[in-house]
Amino acid sequence: MRRTHRSKKKPEHPTTDRWMVSYADFITLLFAFFTTLYAISNMDAQKMGRIVLAMKSAFDQEVLPDSHGAGIVPAPLQGNALDAGGSILPHIVTPGSQTSQLPKTRPKPLKDVKDQLDKMVTEENLASKIKVSLDRRGLVLRLGELNFFDSGSSVIKPSARALLDRLAAILFQSDSKIRVEGHTDNVPISTSRYPSNWELSTARATSLVLYLIENHGFDPQKLSASGYGEFRPLAANDTDENRAQNRRVDLVVLNEESTAQEPTREWLQKMVIWR
C-alpha cells in the first residue's frame, strides 16, 4: 500500500499589527478633543452671550426646571467676563433666588414708573448718576459712564450692581419692551477688542441686557440692544464735561407707539416667507 505524503502547513503566526487600528482611533479622538478646546478658548464671551439669548428666546423660557424643583440657567456674565473672555457655565438656582423669574404683577403705566424712579433719585441724591425723563419714545433712564463702566470697558462696575438691582426691580413692573442704547463721545478708540466706538457702545448695551435677563428674569423677547457710537450726542463734544455727558447708556422703556414700530417674531417670519 502506497502512503501519500501530505505537506504539512506551517503554523500561522498571529498578526501583531492590530494595535495600529486602536492607536489611529485614539489619535483621531485626541485631535478632535484639542481642536474643540482650542475653538472654545478662542470664542468671544460676548458672542457666547448672544448665543445664550438666542437659545433662550427659541425655547421661550427663562429657567429650565429639574426634578428637584431647581432650575438650570446660564451663569451671568459678571466681573471681567466680557473683557477677559470669561466663560458661561451652567449653575443651579433655586426658586425664589435672584436669578429666578420674578412674579408678574399688573403692569404699571410709564408715568407711575417715572414717579417711582423720580422719588428714588430725589430721596437718595442720585441726580448725578441717573437722569429720568419722558420723550416721544417713552420713559428714558439715562446712566452715565462714570458710575457704571470703566473707560474703554463694557464690564459693569461691581459698585454699580446694587443700584442696578434696585432700578431693575422698578423697571420690571412696567412689563414693557425696553431698548438699551449705548453711546460714546467722539474720542476715537482702537483696541483689539473694540476697533471703534460702535463696538464699545454696542457691547455696553449688551452687557446691561444680559444683566437684566440673568439677574432679574426679564423676558429676552422684550429686550433689545443697540449701539450708536458718538453719533447721537446730547451736547457738543468740545469740553470734558460735555464728552462725559455723551458717554452714557440709555434704558428706553418704549411706549405703545414705539412698541408698535418694533419688529415682532411674526413680522420677521412673514418676511422670510415672502423672500
Confidence of residue 43 (pLDDT cuts 50, 70, 90): low
Residue whose C-alpha cell is 478658548: 41
* Per-residue model confidence as pLDDT tens digits over 207-259: 999 999 999 999 999 999 999 999 999 999 999 999 999 999 999 999 999 88
Query: What string of DSSP letters covers 123-162?
Result: HTT-TTTEEEEEETTEEEEEEEHHHHB-TT--SBPGGGHH
* Residue 23: predicted pLDDT: 83
E strands along the chain, which residues?
64-65, 71-74, 90-93, 130-135, 138-144, 178-183, 223-227, 248-254
Q: What is the pLDDT of residue 33?
A: 83
CA dihedral 246, 249, 251, 257 (to 10 degrees): 50
Mean pLDDT along residues 118-131: 95
What's the grid cell of residue 88? 458661561
Mean pLDDT value across residues 34-57 = 65
Q: CATH for 110-260?
A: 3.30.1330.60
Cα distance between residue 151 and residue 158, in whole Å = 14
pLDDT band at 180 (very low <50, low <70, confident <90, very high): very high
pLDDT band at 87 (very low <50, low <70, confident <90, very high): very low
Q: Which residues contact 138 (CB under 8 A, 6 or more apart)?
A: 110, 176, 252, 253, 254, 255, 258
**Cβ proximity of 214 and 75 under 8 Å:** yes
The residue type of 198 is W
pLDDT digits (tens, 9 = 90+) for 130-177: 999 999 999 999 999 999 999 999 999 999 999 999 999 999 999 899
Per-residue pLDDT band for 68 (boundaries 50, 70, 90) equals: very low
pLDDT at 102 over 80: no
Q: What one-letter code names the amino acid at 176?
A: S
**Residues 6 or more apart whose Cβ sits within 8 Å of residue 168:** 211, 212, 215, 216, 218
d(CA 79, CA 58): 27
Mean pLDDT of 51-64: 54
pLDDT at 254: 95
Region of 82 on the Ramachandran plot (φ > 0 left; ψ -120 to 50 alpha; else beta): alpha
Coil, strand or helix at 185: coil
Detail the DSSP E strand segments found in 22-103. Answer: 64-65, 71-74, 90-93
Sequence spans of domains, the chain: 47-101, 110-260
How confident is the model over 46-60, as a mean pLDDT? Answer: 59
